[in-house]
Amino acid sequence: MTEQNAYQQAGVDIKAGEEAVELMKDAVADTYNAQVLDGLGGFGAAFALGNQYQNPVLVSGADGVGTKLLLAIAADKHDTIGQDLVAMVANDILAQGAKPAFMLDYLAVDKMRPAVVAEIVTGVAKAAKASGMALIGGESAELPGLYAPKHYDLAAFAVGVAEQDQLLNPKNVAAGDVLIGLPSSGIHSNGYSLVRHVLGIQSDDDFNQLPEDLKTTLLTPTALYAKPVWPLVEAGLLQAMAHITGGGLTENLPRAYETTLSAQINWGSWPILPIFNTLQAAGQLALDDMLLTFNNGLGMVLIVKPAHRDAVLAALAAQDQAAYVIGEMVPYAGAGVVYSGDAPW
């Protein structure tokens, strides 16, 4: 006698996967534009570049969310973690001088829970649309035995497009160029292993016993910068750009210029969000640890010519994007980034 529904009994529920697709498909389709040639269901996804480019270059990126996922799982809140995922890849592509175009996501779960899966992917789709990207494909995999109950992992691969001569190049940065910082929305998606350590979050119960405002702050999604910043790239107003992720200003900013230069950052030129003071105090963290782990209030740094400073600030203000002049480029001063003024810690 043959066994029915053997795969389901082994832990993989195909019907639950189909239900999840049904719940998320409208949000995914809402990201499509005329360049998307296929919808859900094919073996691959097709995207047409069109004929608006003279010498197009594709810029790709792949990333995940990291252990911030553990806090979303503890809170049973899955509607914003997708924005964290999108921001990680879209902001990286933008920093190269490319316009985010399309992405694919990968979601691996211990058990297919259609409502949760749809909530996650709908969050991805909304953030993709806000960044000008089509969510043209992906994979939701049920992997029984690989993940702890209710746990999942999330990753993305994205592609942007630019004219080759439009790409931002470290060689274009010179001493005297101005540094404009765009504020972060919070911790973003880096440093959460240290966050959990200093706040004593070893379990779901530990997280859920935190004050409500702190839990909300810890789950605040990563800021998306494509909408306010892409027009500046398109207008040729930027020399270079750095997405401030793991490694902070100290390690990410030097990726945007050559080793003959240093970025001189002025403490006090931007507001440091209270959460960073909370983390520093809770862990008695040294300044170097803060600088190498967290964004400390800056999610993206633009490098512009002095003559373009006012135009860039005005354009950002018109998009309701806060911005701060945080320093300037100088001849190499012993480190890729040097700090002046009174440090906050």
* Residues 244 and 158 occupy one common structural domain: no
Q: Is residue 242 part of a domain?
A: yes
pLDDT for residue 170: 97
Residues 299, 302, 306: CA angle, nearest 5 degrees: 150
pLDDT for residue 43: 84
* Residues 45 and 162 occupy one common structural domain: yes
Number of independent structural domains in the chain? 2
pLDDT (tens digit, 9 = 90+) per residue, 324-336?
999 999 999 999 9
pLDDT (tens digit, 9 = 90+) per residue, 23-78?
889 999 999 999 999 766 678 899 999 889 999 999 999 999 999 999 999 999 99
Distance CA 342, CA 273 (A): 17
What's the CATH number where 34 sits? 3.30.1330.10
Q: Is residue 195 part of a domain?
A: no
Q: Is residue 148 part of a domain?
A: yes
Angstrom distances, CA of residue 281 to CA of 108, 274, 284, 292: 36, 11, 5, 16
* 184-196 core/surface letters (b: 16 or more CB in 10 A; e: else): bbbbbbbbbebbb
In this prediction the pTM is: 0.95
* Residues 133 and 177 occupy one common structural domain: no
* Residues 138 and 177 occupy one common structural domain: no
- Token pair recorded at residue 29: 């389709």
In the chain, % helix, strand, coil (3-state, to 5) comes to 40, 25, 40
Low-confidence ranges of the chain (pLDDT < 70): 1-4, 39-41
Residues 6+ apart with CB under 8 A from 155: 62, 63, 64, 85, 105, 106
* Cβ proximity of 290 and 296 under 8 Å: yes
Amino acid letter, 266: N
pLDDT for residue 18: 83
* Residues 47 and 184 occupy one common structural domain: no
Q: 177 is in which domain, residue-wise?
A: 170-188+223-340
* Residues 301 and 155 occupy one common structural domain: no
* Residues 162 and 265 occupy one common structural domain: no
* Residues 119 and 25 occupy one common structural domain: yes
Angstrom distances, CA of residue 28 to CA of 36, 40, 52, 89, 201: 12, 9, 25, 17, 34
Q: What is the DSSP letter of 241?
A: E
